Each structure stands twice: as structure tokens, then as C-alpha cells.
Amino acid sequence: MALSDGPDLTPSPPSVGGRRPRRRIMPMVVLALVLVSGGVIITQALSTAVDYYCNVDEVGVRSGCDEGRRLRLQGTVAEGSVVTGTAATMFDIEFNGESVPVEYEGEPGGIFRECLPVVVHGVFDQSTGLFLGDRVEVKHSEEYVAVNDERLTEAEAMACQPSA
């Protein structure tokens, strides 16, 4: 058997400026962009999904209860404060001697009335000082009791009682 009869096993010279390294870099760049984009989206979603739970008297005092973020604000609907309009319902909620005016889009419905503990989800309007609510949980709803049981007793004790 002659040496020239078999396959040529000599290594080929390295290619200069070939496409092979470029093919490996492009998928890594695309993967890195996808991971970074996914991280940004998840971070934004988690930061906007957090509603800090605060009593009315904790706004601006307790960490996380800042006026510039979305809050779940707990208090009792102040007696004589409910004003129902065509587009919004205005009322004040109180807790521990502090009061916050609330504007709720539409009619809260259900058993909403004065002197009941409520939790209002929303944000503060920096220009007017109003708390703009987009969801109201009233004390007797199953959802309110299940989520806020530990705060319910304290709020009920303060509901529409004259301060000493």
C-alpha cells in the first residue's frame, strides 16, 4: 500500500478573517441581550407590583410609606366626609388622629359607608395632596378580613369615636 493512496490527514492552514469566530460571537451577543432585557423587564414588573401597606398616620413617617409610591392605605372612613359625584367619590380616611382626603374613581359600592375600616389602593397626587384610589376593600369583605386581620381590631376600636 502506497502512502499516497490514503486520505490526506495534514492539517489545513488557519483561515484569516474567516466566518467561524463570527458565528460563535453572534449567538452569545443575542443571548446576552435577551438576558439583560429579561432582567430589566422582571425588575420593573416587581418594583411596580409592590403596594406598601400603611396606616394613614404612617404616611411620610414610616419607611416605604412615601407619597411618591403606590400604597395600600388603611383607615376608617371619616364621619360626614363622603361626597358622591358623577365620576368620583370623595371621602376622608382617618387613623390615629391623622386624616387623608381620598378621591376614588366611581362608586365604591357594596357596604361602603362612613365609620367602616377600609383599605384604599392608589397613589398620592403630589399637586393636590389627594390620595387617588383605584380599589377599595371594605372591612366586611372576605378579601379584606383574610389579608388584614391583624389590623382590623385596632381600626374597629377607633371607628368614629370622638377623640379625647
Q: 51-62 pLDDT, tens per residue? A: 678 888 888 888
Residue 93: pLDDT band with limits 50, 70, 90: very high
Compute, in degrees rounded to 10, the torsion defined by CA atoms 60, 62, 65, 66: 40
Range of the domain at 104: 52-158
Both 76 and 150 in a single domain? yes
Both 60 and 45 in a single domain? no
User: What is the pLDDT averaged over residues 50-79?
Assistant: 83
Give a yes or no: residue 2 inside a domain. Answer: no
Q: How many domains does the structure of the chain reveal? A: 2
More confident residue, 163 or 117: 117
Give a yes or no: residue 74 inside a domain. Answer: yes
Both 85 and 134 in a single domain? yes
Give a yes or no: residue 85 inside a domain. Answer: yes
CATH number at residue 95: 2.40.50.140
Give a yes or no: residue 8 inside a domain. Answer: no
How far lies 29's CA from each of 18, 36, 38, 41, 42, in Å?
A: 18, 11, 14, 18, 20
Both 99 and 150 in a single domain? yes
Both 64 and 140 in a single domain? yes
Burial group, residue 85, by CB count within 10 angstroms (0-12, 13-18, 19+) = exposed
Give a yes or no: residue 1 inside a domain. Answer: no
Question: How much of the chain exceeds pLDDT 90, in percent?
Answer: 13
Map grid coordinates 391583624 to a residue: 150
Q: Are strands 71-77 and 52-55 parallel, antiparallel or unpaired?
A: parallel
Residue 92: pLDDT band with limits 50, 70, 90: very high
Q: How many angstroms separate the CA atoms of 57 and 113, rounded?
A: 21
Both 69 and 133 in a single domain? yes
* pLDDT for 102 beyond 50: yes
The model's pTM is 0.58
* pLDDT for 32 beyond 80: yes
Both 153 and 72 in a single domain? yes
3-class DSSP string for the chain: CCHHHCCCCCCCCCCCCCCHHHHHHHHHHHHHHHHHHHHHHHHHHHHHHCCEEEEHHHCCCCCCCCCCCCEEEEEEECCCCCEECCCEEEEEEEECCEEEEEEEECCCCCCCCCCCEEEEEEEECCCCCCEEEEEEEECCCHHHHHHHHHHHHHHHHHCCCCCC
Both 43 and 77 in a single domain? no
Residue 64: pLDDT band with limits 50, 70, 90: confident
User: What is the pLDDT averaged over residues 117-144?
Assistant: 81
Give a yes or no: residue 110 inside a domain. Answer: yes
Both 85 and 153 in a single domain? yes
pLDDT of amino acid 62: 81
Give a yes or no: residue 163 inside a domain. Answer: no
Both 107 and 146 in a single domain? yes
